Structure 1
């Protein structure tokens, strides 16, 4: 109980610290808007800065500062206002092709505000809410290796098509529409694309190897709704604990490099943060409950992201 209270206290402290930083950042941004035409054009476009400031300074900057004291009404005023402005800025940037950087900044602020508000309100983030529908943990039904492999193959087609195809195309299109692309010299751009292709091929090979190991040796699939019935510690799993996550994130980065889209790269790297801090703790808690000492020994021996150097025998 004491540990739980300490964790909640730390969570609330982090939430308050975020709002304090947001208040300072917002104030500095408004200084930039009124003193630097480049900042005003990049983040507000054709919007009237005076009218916008009249609303945003009290509801965003001041409210964030007050929210840093954990005053609950200010927390929700700042959070709701930030979310509303984010939606408005996204629509404005999409329609007018202006203020794209402002839309991106507000998207980051909205995500941070929601997380900070939850931390102040409850002391924690309700990460367990991500476990719904196809993402809820369920053991795979007993099936042959061939059937598990077929189901895994279908999952790969759907996941790769959406996460590595549809979503990156949407992100890259928005990046172009909002005029927030980073243009590389032609020689650099070609080199980046080639590096992306090489990384994608290597990551895809790792992903397929991992999926094959999961379906044939784990008696299940990579999807949480049909989790493996056996603990897999061979193949790529002897190198890192979740090679499929390593492969998927690397594939996303590779797609971003091939498309010359820095936002797609950010999308992929953001996925690594979500997986590491939200999904992984839940997944490993489930594995520890189901496999007990066998998983604890495996977790102590094998790293999560980067393979460890083998211990030398004296």
Structure 2
């Protein structure tokens, strides 16, 4: 816990230093001032931001939890104000982006200082992402239907609505960057391949696992069939590739960054919890599978699982 707290303090030290440099650049460079503050009066903004953001981060770096809380709250408040200002005025888009990143990082650092860790288990305790096994007596057809409905909703939200909204903000805030002419055709090709992988993975999970791919109705059997024989998380790979592909199609670096950020959240926050759950429910069989098949890098040959007559599934142990 002490080491985690130190990392939180180190982040706030870096934020204090970077914030100080940014304010120097704001007053020294009209280009930086226009890109990050637009037409806002830098003196008025500095009167509040230097003590609360730079000074508060410095105090947090010396171990003040109260300062960390105040600084994180101020950063979040400024982020809301900057996003609204950038959206209405079409100015200071880079300032809004920087503050969004600072808010996310400050929240993580604050968790390290207060809890000694980032409480990622909160993600799976309640809400739509809470880990719950599917009803064991439902038929494979019912699980396939539920999976199809989940795909429509999740792909609609995360691959259509969210990227289109992000691309709109990118244009509104004046953050566009040039893409190669070949980016969109490449994105279409990647999207088709990744979507096929996602559908294949979902079908294997729903038809053999006695559940769905989503945490709210998790499979009751360990599936080591279809693409799962080559890589442990084909649906995650497919989802990340789909997000990047949509970003290429839209010509939006913000959407590409959104997909990459989602992959980091999944890999470092969700995946460890999921694997702990699988280890607890399937024991040695999952541990053998995990040691033989990579998380991200596919095997050249299929994993041969000697379970359930070669069907590629293993039943969960009884609930404790």
Q: Which residue pairs with 1:3 in the alignment?
A: none
Q: Which residue pairs with 1:178 in the alignment?
A: 173
Q: Deviations over 1:131-189 (max 9, x none)?
A: 222211111112221111111111101110011011111111111111111133xxx2x
- Give the 3-state SS of the residue equivalent to 2:175 in structure 1: coil
For residue 143 of structure 2, the aligned residue among 129, 141, 148 is 148
Q: Which residue pairs with 2:247 in the alignment?
A: 256
Task: Map 1:31-70 onto structure 2 (within 5 A).
Answer: 31-70=24-63
Task: Map 1:111-130 onto structure 2 (within 5 A).
Answer: 111-130=104-123
- Give the 3-state SS of the residue equivalent to 1:231 in structure 2: strand
Q: Which residue pairs with 1:105 in the alignment?
A: 98
Q: Which residue pairs with 2:207 in the alignment?
A: 216
* Aligned-pair CA distance for 1:309: 4.9
In the aligned structure 2, how far is the partner of 1:62 from the partner of 1:310? 56
In the aligned structure 2, how far is the partner of 1:232 from the partner of 1:246? 17
In the aligned structure 2, how far is the partner of 1:136 from the partner of 1:278? 13
Q: Which residue pairs with 2:316 in the alignment?
A: none
The answer to whether structure 1 residue 137 and structure 2 residue 131 are counterparts is yes
Q: Which residue pairs with 1:286 in the alignment?
A: 277
Question: Please, which moves more after superposition, 154-163 or 50-59?
Answer: 50-59
Where structure 2 has 5 or more consecutive residues not aligned to the other structure, the ranges are 303-320
Question: Please, which moves more after superposition, 36-45 or 47-56?
Answer: 47-56
Question: Please, which moves more after superposition, 137-146 or 301-310?
Answer: 301-310
- Contact 2:75-2:99 within 8 A present in 1 as well: yes
In the aligned structure 2, how far is the partner of 1:168 from the partner of 1:176? 12
Q: Deviations over 1:206-239 (max 9, x none)?
A: 0000001001111110011111111011111111
In the aligned structure 2, how far is the partner of 1:290 from the partner of 1:57? 51
Superposition misfits of 4+ residues, deviation over 3 angstroms:
308-311
Q: How many residues in Structure 1 have an aligned counterpart in Structure 2? A: 300
- Contact 2:230-2:301 within 8 A present in 1 as well: no
Where structure 1 has 5 or more consecutive residues not aligned to the other structure, the ranges are 1-7
For residue 265 of structure 2, the aligned residue among 261, 268, 274 is 274
Q: Which residue pairs with 2:307 in the alignment?
A: none
**CA RMSD between the two structures:** 1.2
Flag the 1:166–1:151 CA change in 2: closer, same or farther, 3 A. same
- Give the 3-state SS of the residue equivalent to 1:193 in structure 2: helix
Q: Deviations over 1:12-49 (max 9, x none)?
A: 11101110110111111111111111100000000011
Q: Which residue pairs with 1:94 in the alignment?
A: 87
TM-score w.r.t. the length of structure 2 is 0.92
Q: Deviations over 1:74-117 (max 9, x none)?
A: 11121111111111101100110000000000000011111101
In the aligned structure 2, how far is the partner of 1:233 from the partner of 1:10? 38
- Give the 3-state SS of the residue equivalent to 1:306 in structure 2: coil
* Aligned-pair CA distance for 1:275: 0.3
* Aligned-pair CA distance for 1:308: 3.9
Question: Please, which moves more after superposition, 201-210 or 47-56?
Answer: 47-56
